[in-house]
Amino acid sequence: MKIEKQQIGDLNKKSIIAHKAQFNFLAGQLTHLGIKSQQLIERLKAFQVAIPSWALGAGGTRFGRFSYGGEPSTLEQKIDDIGVLHALTQSAGAVSLHIPWDTPEDYEAIKQKAALHNIGFDAVNSNTFQDQPDARQSYRFGSLSNVDQHVREQAIHHNIEVIRIGKKLGSKSLTVWLADGSNFPGQHNFQTALQYTQTSLKIIYDSLPKDWKLYIEYKPYEPNFYSTVIQDWGTSFMLAKECGDRAYTLVDLGHHLPNTNIEQIVATLLHKGMLGGFHFNDSKYGDDDLTVGSIKPYTLFLIFNELVYGMAKNPQNPEIAWMIDASHNIKDPLEDLIQSLEAILIAYAQALLIDQQKLRAAQEAQDVALCQEILPTAYRTDVRPLVKESRLQLHGALDPLSVYRSLGIRQALINERGKDARASGL
Ligand SMILES: [Mn+2]
């Protein structure tokens, strides 16, 4: 499965006249405000989001899973699916692999396949939240924090193995998310669990190649419901600091308690040069892993405001590794990812429109009403023509979802792989 530029170009012709009219209108408005559209478009064109290898099949809950048909059952097929996304959107230029679900068998074949689609290898993800069939130790009571030294050693060794695999593919970072925690009061000695986690992470960190980074993800609850060892950004920050200067915090939008001010967390981490990775999704209640921007688009915009500010003002922060970490229980996974990518670029474009100088002046003047007015002015601008134009300039689809449907991609995948093909993953 590979979409040719010609196919996309032919379908773009249908809507190019309408697009050009809308784009010229917006560009005219922006010129009036002293904003150069092409500069914004260049920023949008450069924005690439990694797709996790576990998000290409139908997601599920603990109650069940409804297969979508034509799911990728091998790593090659997963990379083909990301190739479809990238051809259409021109913004999904990387894959983030989960080990062991997606351990390559033939590294050269996988690298060739990725190169064919112009896809790079982003962070590799370890898994110490499940027992593998051949494992000697169980993670039932945790991994890096386990009171049993043998379990900790197995978990450390697994992470080192993930680094080895990532090196062979050209990855430059390792993401660690731990399910470790406790379900009932008294189950954990909090201090011991934290210390074991620190010591284990340090051994993993010391095994990283010198040009690699470690991203430490946090989450307040689930699958453990009383406590989680790395519960919040502060704990992640502290653990990263104690590992060394190539360890960073990773923010997953779904990993916060309701109403947490995530944009403030983002600002704090950027200020301290500690925001390494970023996982996009949306939620209504908890770690719902819904399509990006589907529930709280204004919050996403406010977060992007801080990201845009930090990317411009915080050279102490490394380039951020962007990834979509969403699930999709009832939608076609590829359609869902197309929607997420669109929402990300829209929020980014809106945030780029914020008049930072005017905002700063209003803040200095302590003009609260004006401060509050400046943000929605950007947010309520329909930036979709900018996003479309950025894709058009890269030979992507003006309207990726409609092109995906017009080309009958899902049916082609079902024909090729079968109705019952199942992807590994969540
Ligand atoms: Mn995540």
- Ligand 1: centre distance to CA 333 (Å): 17
Q: Which pair of structure tokens corresponds to residue 412?
A: 């082609």
- The DSSP bridge partners found for residue 227 are 182
| pLDDT band at residue 252 using 50, 70 and 90 as cut-offs | very high
Show the CA angle centred on residue 416, arms to residues 340 and 2, nearest 5°.
55
Q: Radius of gyration (Cα) for the chain, nearest Å? A: 22
271-285 residue pLDDT tens: 999 999 999 999 999
Residue 4 has pLDDT above 80, yes or no: yes
Q: Which pair of structure tokens corresponds to residue 149?
A: 């030294």
- Ligand 1: centre distance to CA 35 (Å): 35
Q: Which pair of structure tokens corresponds to residue 248?
A: 């960073």
- Ligand 1: centre distance to CA 280 (Å): 8
Cβ atoms 354, 375 nearer than 8 A: yes
* Distance from C-alpha of 85 to C-alpha of 184, rounded to nearest angstrom: 43
- Ligand 1: centre distance to CA 369 (Å): 36
- Ligand 1: centre distance to CA 342 (Å): 19
Cβ atoms 277, 123 nearer than 8 A: yes
312-327 residue pLDDT tens: 999 999 999 999 999 8
- Ligand 1: centre distance to CA 297 (Å): 19
| pLDDT band at residue 67 using 50, 70 and 90 as cut-offs | confident
- Ligand 1: centre distance to CA 253 (Å): 8
| pLDDT band at residue 58 using 50, 70 and 90 as cut-offs | confident
Residue 378 has pLDDT above 80, yes or no: yes
- Ligand 1: centre distance to CA 325 (Å): 5
pLDDT at 426: 57
- Ligand 1: centre distance to CA 45 (Å): 24
Cβ atoms 67, 58 nearer than 8 A: yes
Average pLDDT over residues 219-235: 98
- Ligand 1: centre distance to CA 318 (Å): 19
SS3 284: coil
- Ligand 1: centre distance to CA 255 (Å): 8
SS3 18: helix
- Ligand 1: centre distance to CA 250 (Å): 8
- Ligand 1: centre distance to CA 149 (Å): 27
- The DSSP bridge partners found for residue 174 are 124, 214
- pLDDT > 70: percent of the chain: 99
- Ligand 1: centre distance to CA 122 (Å): 14
75-129 residue pLDDT tens: 999 999 999 999 999 999 999 999 999 999 999 999 999 999 999 999 999 999 9
- Ligand 1: centre distance to CA 14 (Å): 38
First-to-last C-alpha distance (Å) of the chain: 23
- Ligand 1: centre distance to CA 393 (Å): 31
386-419 residue pLDDT tens: 999 999 999 999 999 999 999 999 999 999 999 8
pLDDT at 425: 62
pLDDT at 64: 83
| pLDDT band at residue 329 using 50, 70 and 90 as cut-offs | confident
- Ligand 1: centre distance to CA 6 (Å): 35
Residue written as token pair 């930036």:
383
φ/ψ of residue 98, rounded to 5 = -105, 130
51, containing H or E segment? strand 50-52
- Ligand 1: centre distance to CA 68 (Å): 23
- Ligand 1: centre distance to CA 276 (Å): 13
- Ligand 1: centre distance to CA 251 (Å): 8
**CA 10 to each of CA 6, 13, 112, 398: distance values in angstroms, whole numbers, following the listed order:** 6, 5, 28, 11
- Ligand 1: centre distance to CA 252 (Å): 5
- Ligand 1: centre distance to CA 44 (Å): 23
* Distance from C-alpha of 1 to C-alpha of 86, rounded to nearest angstrom: 13
pLDDT at 66: 84
- Ligand 1: centre distance to CA 96 (Å): 11
- Ligand 1: centre distance to CA 217 (Å): 7
- Ligand 1: centre distance to CA 401 (Å): 25
